[in-house]
Structure 1
Amino acid sequence: MHDANHSAADHDGQGLSAPDGQRRPLVALAVGLLACFCLLLGGLQGWSAWHAYEAEREDSRVATANMARALATHAETSIRLGDAVLTEMVERVEHDGLGEAATARLTGRLRAITHDMGELHGLFVYGPDGKWLTSSLPRPMQGNNFDREYFQFHLLHSGRGTHVGVPVRSRSTGVWILPLSRRLEAPDGSFAGVVLATLNLAWFGRFYDSFDVGENGTILFALDNGTLIYRRPFHDDQVGMDIRNGTIWQQIQRDGQAGSIVATPRIDNVERLYSYRHLVGYPLFVASGQATDEILSGWRRTTVQTAILGAAAMLLLACGGVILVRQIRVRERLERDLVRVGVSLRRHNASLQNLADSDALTGLANRRLFEDRLVREYERARRNGAPFALILADVDHFKQYNDRYGHPAGDECLRKVAGAIESGARRPGDLAARYGGEEFAIILADTDLTGANAVADTIRAAVVDLDLRHADNPTGRVTLSMGLYVGHPALAERDDPLAWVDVADRLLYEAKDAGRNRVVSREGHEAAA
């Protein structure tokens, strides 16, 4: 019964292992948290890269749109200046005529205007047959422009507005020009010729070259009918090209005034972000395009650098996570080992305690444990008002048994008697102990006189049933004499548990005096006093 310490040690071991079981998901939790953090970091990097990509595209769209607006404003200003000059020329010719004096004044005026306006290549007046009547050129020239597109236009159309013609090479200088022209009419309204202002395409080229559109960027200037006037980078053979099959021209026809588009023109197969704008009041449009590779080059570089840093961070985090998981596993292993060692130590301590509390020969509780238990059970019975029984037993004529059969036989006899006593004290609260030599003690808690007598008589009969020969005992067999005292500690006048031992010991001697192999019992509390 005093071996219950072993089960207590086992229970302690199970209690220690429970937290370990609760900590088993710690590795999975750590791995899950690290994985979630890596996914979060990757997601943030992806979102940041996408946001930067959209911002870069939007910034470039705004930049090219602003550039297209500036290009359109420049072209509108240049054409309006040419239109104003043409208006003056028409008014002078139709009002003053082309007499010798009037022509001389007009020629001087045209030369002065051309000198002051850098975008003008030349100013010309043609008769109804296409012959040159006068111009801003420094010397008179003979020629006929009847075949020119602009001349044919005014010959066939009665409108008096400015006509923007297709780009041509100047017959006077050989450079590419953009013709602006108006119709001259006689007083009767008949066709009287054409006034012409030519804009030097090189003027536009110098202006366009002042913009930074990147190595593969481009600038377009074209008529609404799809005729290309100028394109940067400039190629002579592209002037006058038909671009109606191009994406930009088709997009302008659909959208109207202004917009942006990503397109890859057939002319060079370079993908660009284009912004385009139509000139107000004229059949012209401009477009500015920046190569998407150049737009996104900085973004790609930054994204790659950020991705490398993020990957390095996640790699470091993963390495740290591996180390952490290993440390957690090592700690859990150490804790399991510690628990096992603790359980083993507790069992060992319980075993040592059991050895310390046990009689080496019989395995029953020894006298020290008996006295400790006696005090505890006595105090418990005193608090609860419960009855308390104590039995002292002694092997009859045991000295003679040793003398006749020897000490080894005597030891074996005591072991068997102890087994019989222990079998009689079966309840968890009962305690059987070797009190000394051949004397034994049994504590029976919460037991009245009837119950205690039944236990004592059972033990006495069990020893008789062992049928151990004892030639020096009148019965011829080993027997026990027992003193039993039952009382209520709560009624005792003196709080002294050892006094009960004295009473039980006197009753034991009464049993011996009465002939041995019997139980002498008494109930009361006055004897304890």
Structure 2
Amino acid sequence: MSPPADSPGLLRLRRAAPLRAARGYVIGVALILVMMTALVLGLSRQHELERAKRMLLLGTELASRHVGVLLRQADSITAALAQEAERGAVPWRDDATLMDMALRLSVDAPQVLELRLVDAAGATVVHTLGGRQAEAAAQRADEAFRFHRASQTTATRLSPPRRSAASGRWVMPLSRRLSAPDGRFLGLVIADLDLAALGAVFDSARLGDGAAVGLVEQGGRLLLRQPFRPDVLGMVMDSRSFGLADLPVEGRSFEARSPVDGVHRLYNAVPLPAHHLVVIAGVDPQEVLAPWRRSALIHGSIVFLLVALLLALGQRLLGAITMQARIGGELQAANRRLRDMKLALDAHAEVLITDVGGRIVDVNDRFCHSTRAERAELIGLDHRVLRSGHHPPAFYRQLWRTIASGRVWSGEMMMRAFDGISYWMDTTIVPFLGPDGRPQQFIAIRYNISARKEAESALARTMQALAHSNHRLKTLVAHDALTGLASRREFDRALARELRRALRSHQPLALVLVDLDHFKRYNDHYGHPAGDSCLQAVARSLRASIQREGDLAARYGGEEFALLLPATDAAGATRVAERLLAEVEALALPHAASPAGIVTLSLGLAALQPTVASPDAAARLLQAADDALYQAKRAGRSRLVVGAAPALQAAAESGS
């Protein structure tokens, strides 16, 4: 035999089912938020690493081109001076022609700090610095001298860096052999390259504080490192373990731990075949990912707060079945919106190169695809044709001030394609500086973030909807559903709050308890629907009887009500209570089961002015008002009785 439909067991099951569904739903939404956040953060981390690799590649290629130019210029200078020396008469002592030529050549090449000509005996004949300093510097040409005397090659050779005795600065000697027509060794030409100039070339790549850029011989000997460390110059690295062996012409990217400082970096190496050198640059992944970690912390905190809000809301939903369905629907809608967000990060960058005037010099294929234009259409155009009109002129003025000063600019920018479609780009603009320190070109590296912008907007709308639902739930808990008055829970909180305030401000606090006379008879005679209507009518009178914002009318339980009157003494509360009695009697609600023939009220009033903190102040005030109400009922009902002010004890006395 099956149990009746209204049995307690079945009712509990019916109530438990939606509660379990609500709990499962809230937990599911929280997990989805966490997983989506983890996915987005993972993709953005990969995006940052890919961007760093591309920036590293561009920086290495830029540095290698500049180093190649400097070395070729130094080659040309030594070749010109060698040709003039080999045509002249030997020995070259006090040769003014060679000295004048060396001075002219060194002036045209700022990176050449010193230019020297050494004869076959190892003595310096021509030195652009001259004087006693030149004599001291001549004693340090032994390494290059020995090599060229033993070798028949006329190619230039780079020697390990050293500190110049003439200038006191660090230089890297680049030497060339001087030969007689019969092949005899006549001496050598040495161009001392300023390491500071080469270091400035490496610094122009702007790869970050933790980056390292070096110039290495193909055999692994370290000739130059930026940041500059004289103690490691000439250090020989294992070419195979460090990724320099069998280096292709286009270069190679790899990860390795630096043998110099022990830091694990992402590296890119580009060879200079003409000089048997390699330009190698590396960035610290920890430094590259530092902005991502800060962003991940912020977004993770936001998601954590959102998940905490969802769980707290779920706990409240367990106590409000009627609100459960409504808020559950809102959460389901939010979940659908979150699932519909297809965030994607473009794994490839868009590259735009402009001159200092803003004219487009070159673009890559992805940039053409995004702008819906051919490369031939874009070359020569002013970059401003791609502006969307979204940003104010001040935005672009600040951008140009930054890059014109030689600094890197990064930010978000809205652009417009040739077909009129606007899209958001995460843009980094790198100025490439010339020897004079001024920008010669600008390279913009862009990533499409339109999907992320749309996702941020949708997430904000979802959080706003959840906050609205939470506010509605709080309102439901704080008010009685039948009368619209404050609930018993809200009354208890207000009573405790007003007692604390009365103690601080030394103001009185009054409480009036209200009871409908013979209300059980009323329900028995007229029925419960009529009883509900009667309660609602009395509640309207209670609301009308209070006129200050701080006063509170609450349904205390069943047919009992309460008026809480802050900053009101017994006399003031008596006037409010008497006005309430008169208003209810004026309603003349029929009550055939009452001796009065109409609905009447019994009121008990108590007031106090606390001077000491007492843990039982609320209970004593309620008891005093309840005693007064009891006296009113015993005295024949339909009246107000003002009770005596309750006596309070200090907290220490109560504890003893």
Equivalence map 1:182-331=2 (5 Å): 182-244=176-238, 250-257=242-249, 258-328=251-321
Residues 247, 271 of structure 2: 8 Å contact kept: no
| Aligned equivalents of 1:168, 1:331: Cα separation in 2 | 79
User: Which residue of 2 is the match for residue 96 of structure 1?
Assistant: 88
Residues 130, 146 of structure 1: 8 Å contact kept: no
Residues 59, 206 of structure 2: 8 Å contact kept: no
Q: Determine whether 1:176 maps to 2:170.
A: yes
Q: Deviations over 1:141-199 (max 9, x none)?
A: 44755962222222222122222222233343343211112221111122222121110
User: Which residue of 1 is the match for residue 127 of structure 2?
Assistant: 135
Cα offset for 1:12? 8.6
Q: Deviations over 1:305-334 (max 9, x none)?
A: 1111111111111111222233239999xx
AA matched with 2:236: D
Alignment counterpart, residue 70 of structure 2, candidates 63, 66, 78:
78
| Aligned equivalents of 2:286, 2:113: Cα separation in 1 | 38
Q: Structure 1 residues 215, 178: closer, same or farther in 2, change over 3 A?
A: same
User: Which residue of 2 is the match for residue 55 of structure 1?
Assistant: 47
| Aligned equivalents of 2:313, 2:88: Cα separation in 1 | 95
User: Which residue of 1 is the match for residue 58 of structure 2?
Assistant: 66
Equivalence map 1:376-391=2 (5 Å): none
| Aligned equivalents of 1:190, 1:183: Cα separation in 2 | 10
User: Which residue of 1 is the match for residue 623 of structure 2?
Assistant: none
| Aligned equivalents of 1:183, 1:245: Cα separation in 2 | 28
Residues 266, 283 of structure 2: 8 Å contact kept: yes
| Aligned equivalents of 1:39, 1:145: Cα separation in 2 | 75
| Aligned equivalents of 2:283, 2:49: Cα separation in 1 | 11
| Aligned equivalents of 2:83, 2:312: Cα separation in 1 | 87
TM-score, length of structure 2 as denominator length: 0.44
AA matched with 1:259: R
Q: Deviations over 1:441-494 (max 9, x none)?
A: xxxxxxxxxxxxxxxxxxxxxxxxxxxxxxxxxxxxxxxxxxxxxxxxxxxxxx
| Aligned equivalents of 1:76, 1:103: Cα separation in 2 | 32
Q: Determine whether 1:154 maps to 2:148.
A: yes
Alignment counterpart, residue 87 of structure 1, candidates 79, 86, 90:
79
What SS is found at the alignment partner of 2:243? helix
User: Which residue of 1 is the match for residue 161 of structure 2?
Assistant: 167
TM-score, length of structure 1 as denominator length: 0.54
Equivalence map 1:410-429=2 (5 Å): none
Residues 81, 101 of structure 2: 8 Å contact kept: no
Residues 164, 178 of structure 1: 8 Å contact kept: yes
Cα offset for 1:303? 0.6
Cα offset for 1:98? 4.2
User: Which residue of 1 is the match for residue 471 of structure 2?
Assistant: none
Gaps of 5+ in 1: 1-6, 333-529
Q: Structure 1 residues 318, 163: closer, same or farther in 2, change over 3 A?
A: same
Residues 221, 231 of structure 1: 8 Å contact kept: yes
Residues 48, 292 of structure 2: 8 Å contact kept: yes
Residues 151, 194 of structure 1: 8 Å contact kept: yes
What SS is found at the alignment partner of 1:25? helix
RMSD: 3.4
Residues 120, 186 of structure 2: 8 Å contact kept: yes
Cα offset for 1:97? 3.4
| Aligned equivalents of 2:42, 2:284: Cα separation in 1 | 19
AA matched with 1:285: V
User: Which residue of 1 is the match for residue 25 of structure 2?
Assistant: 33
Q: Structure 1 residues 92, 171: closer, same or farther in 2, change over 3 A?
A: same
AA matched with 1:154: H
| Aligned equivalents of 2:99, 2:235: Cα separation in 1 | 34
| Aligned equivalents of 1:331, 1:217: Cα separation in 2 | 56
Cα offset for 1:18? 8.3
Q: Deviations over 1:469-520 (max 9, x none)?
A: xxxxxxxxxxxxxxxxxxxxxxxxxxxxxxxxxxxxxxxxxxxxxxxxxxxx
| Aligned equivalents of 2:323, 2:173: Cα separation in 1 | 89
What SS is found at the alignment partner of 1:177? strand
Q: Deviations over 1:59-94 (max 9, x none)?
A: 111112211112111111110001011211222122
| Aligned equivalents of 1:204, 1:93: Cα separation in 2 | 28
Identity within the alignment, %: 24
Equivalence map 1:389-400=2 (5 Å): none
User: Which residue of 1 is the match for residue 534 of structure 2?
Assistant: none
Residues 168, 177 of structure 1: 8 Å contact kept: yes
AA matched with 1:233: P
User: Which residue of 2 is the match for residue 496 of structure 1?
Assistant: none
AA matched with 1:183: R
Cα offset for 1:100? 6.5
AA matched with 1:104: A
Residues 218, 288 of structure 1: 8 Å contact kept: yes
| Aligned equivalents of 1:123, 1:147: Cα separation in 2 | 12
AA matched with 1:180: L
Q: Structure 1 residues 170, 101: closer, same or farther in 2, change over 3 A?
A: closer
Residues 149, 166 of structure 1: 8 Å contact kept: no
Cα offset for 1:136? 2.2
Q: Structure 1 residues 326, 242: closer, same or farther in 2, change over 3 A?
A: same
Q: Determine whether 1:43 maps to 2:35.
A: yes
Residues 125, 135 of structure 1: 8 Å contact kept: yes
AA matched with 1:121: L
What SS is found at the alignment partner of 1:48? helix
Q: Which one has a bigger Cα radius of gyration?
A: 1
| Aligned equivalents of 1:255, 1:38: Cα separation in 2 | 50
| Aligned equivalents of 2:148, 2:90: Cα separation in 1 | 20
User: Which residue of 2 is the match for residue 108 of structure 1?
Assistant: 100
AA matched with 1:160: T
Q: Structure 1 residues 123, 13: closer, same or farther in 2, change over 3 A?
A: closer
User: Which residue of 2 is the match for residue 513 of structure 1?
Assistant: none
The structure richer in helix per residue is 1
Q: Deviations over 1:256-285 (max 9, x none)?
A: 452333333243333333333222422222
Q: Deviations over 1:414-438 (max 9, x none)?
A: xxxxxxxxxxxxxxxxxxxxxxxxx
| Aligned equivalents of 1:21, 1:188: Cα separation in 2 | 111
Residues 246, 265 of structure 1: 8 Å contact kept: no
Residues 279, 285 of structure 1: 8 Å contact kept: yes
Gaps of 5+ in 2: 326-656
Alignment counterpart, residue 118 of structure 1, candidates 110, 116, 119:
110
AA matched with 1:299: W
Q: Structure 1 residues 187, 102: closer, same or farther in 2, change over 3 A?
A: farther
Tell me whether 30-39 or 16-25 shows the greater mean CA deviation: 16-25
| Aligned equivalents of 2:201, 2:9: Cα separation in 1 | 85
Q: Structure 1 residues 11, 276: closer, same or farther in 2, change over 3 A?
A: closer
